[in-house]
Amino acid sequence: MSRRPAAWVIVMRREILAKLTDRAFLVGTLFTLVVLAGVIGVQGYLGERTKTYDLVATAEARPLADQVATAASKGDAKVRVKVTDANDAVAAHAAVDTGSADAWLHHEATGWVLTGRTGVPDALATTTTGVVRSTTLAANAAAAGTTVQAMEKGATLTTTQLVGDPQRSDLNKGIGFGMAVLFYVAVLMFGITLANSVVEEKQSRIVEIIVSAIPIRQLLAGKILGNALIAFVQMAVYAAIALVGISFTSVGRLLPSVTGPVLWFVLFFAVGFLAIACLYAVAGALASRTEDVQSTSMPLTMLVMGIFFGSAFASGTAQTVGSFIPPFSAVMMPIRMLDGGVPWWQPVLALAGLLAFAFAAVVLGEKVYRRALLQTRGRLSVRQALAAAE
């Protein structure tokens, strides 16, 4: 006879199996993966592809149009320009109007004009503007007996930053926002799932059979850990796909530098998730019917939204303070660490605070859960549940 697993392991296994055989969950996960891969793929495609524009010109404008084509092929913006000839203005006009050309380059009294049918593509306009500007400037400079270089001397402005580099800052912002979203989505989705599964057991009264066979603590632990495990795996898959996607882009080279904060985030995520999941289990226990879960979990939903907005938008002192206050610290500390300059003791202190919060949540959670589980008449408040005898 094989050794029998502990009760919480059996409960956890059932939670996971129930989830893995739930069609809605599988379809949802698959859908998210497809969307995620799609977004990354589209970004990559848009970033890599070369767009060719047809520029129509009469003989008068042909030399300038050729210069635009040359400039486009030299520039690293992925724009190519193909020049087509038109006999006269009427033919050029017709070419744009019928769509066989994207724009018509011609000269008017005020200067050069680029005409599109309903507008001129930005990339084409930018390239053309540059060429017109430089050729005209060169001509004007020659007329004035000087050179463009001489005229433009000293007229440049370059931006620099003290910490990191601009691409790194963008990456940090992106990853920080990603962390906030990931935590928000995971906690909300699995929190509600957990609350629903608690109330489902309560509503169907199977909980009476279960707690007559095993201690309530084991039931609570198994349910929370089972859901947490699924949440971690699901979020890890999402994050991995996103990171793989990023590694193919130009900021991919910077990824190794964020490894430390991301690993911290995994730790903070785990502890923060457990604490809030426990509170969601309580929200489920306070309800008597599935319909009540929404209102009993409302304060938690507000809290989770607060964490999201706090971590996505807070900066400066607010961010520093928030990064120590559990459960906000679960996301705000790793985000602060992305920007660097956080001494090692700060995340340790924040994690200790978060652990204390999680412990308190589990202790309080078990107390309320135990008392509320067999109360099946309507909604309970935490106060009522704690006041009730076991």
Which positions touch other proteins (CB under 8 A)? 1-2, 4-5, 7, 10-11, 14, 17-18, 22, 200-201, 204-215, 374, 389-390
Using only C-alpha atoms, the chain has a radius of gyration, in whole angstroms, of 31
Write down the least CB distance from residue 365 to other proteins, Å: 19
Q: Is 77 or 387 the residue whose CB approaches other proteins more closely?
A: 387
Q: Is 211 or 325 the residue whose CB approaches other proteins more closely?
A: 211
Write down the least CB distance from residue 19 to other proteins, Å: 12
Q: Is 32 or 290 the residue whose CB approaches other proteins more closely?
A: 290
Q: What is the 3-state secondary structure (H, E, C) of the chain?
A: CCCCCCHHHHHHHHHHHHHHCCHHHHHHHHHHHHHHHHHHHHHHHHHHCCEEEEEEECCCCHHHHHHHHHHHHHCCCCEEEEEEECCCHHHHHHHHHHCCCCEEEEEECCEEEEECCCCCCHHHHHHHHHHHHHHHHHHHHHHCCCCHHHHHCCCCCCCCCCCCCHHHHHHHHHHHHHHHHHHHHHHHHHHHHHHHHHHHHHHCCHHHHHHHHCCHHHHHHHHHHHHHHHHHHHHHHHHHHHHHHHHCCHHHHHHHHHHHHHHHHHHHHHHHHHHHHHHHHHHHHHCCCHHHHHHHCHHHHHHHHHHHHHHHHCCHHHHHHHCCCCCCHHHHHHHHHHCCCCCCHHHHHHHHHHHHHHHHHHHHHHHHHHHHCCCCCCCCCHHHHHHCCC
Write down the least CB distance from residue 328 to other proteins, Å: 36
Write down the least CB distance from residue 224 to other proteins, Å: 17
Q: Is 14 or 253 the residue whose CB approaches other proteins more closely?
A: 14
Write down the least CB distance from residue 374 to other proteins, Å: 6
CA-based nearest residue to 225, from 180, 184, 270: 270
Q: How far apart are CA 225 and CA 122, in angstroms?
A: 53
Q: Is 208 or 339 the residue whose CB approaches other proteins more closely?
A: 208
Write down the least CB distance from residue 202 to other proteins, Å: 9
Write down the least CB distance from residue 231 to other proteins, Å: 20
Q: Is 165 or 291 the residue whose CB approaches other proteins more closely?
A: 291
Write down the least CB distance from residue 164 to other proteins, Å: 51
Q: Is 107 or 289 the residue whose CB approaches other proteins more closely?
A: 289
CA-based nearest residue to 187, from 123, 276, 317, 251: 276
Q: Is 14 or 107 the residue whose CB approaches other proteins more closely?
A: 14
Write down the least CB distance from residue 388 to other proteins, Å: 9
Q: How far apart are CA 337 and CA 333, in angstroms?
A: 6
Q: Is 200 or 339 the residue whose CB approaches other proteins more closely?
A: 200
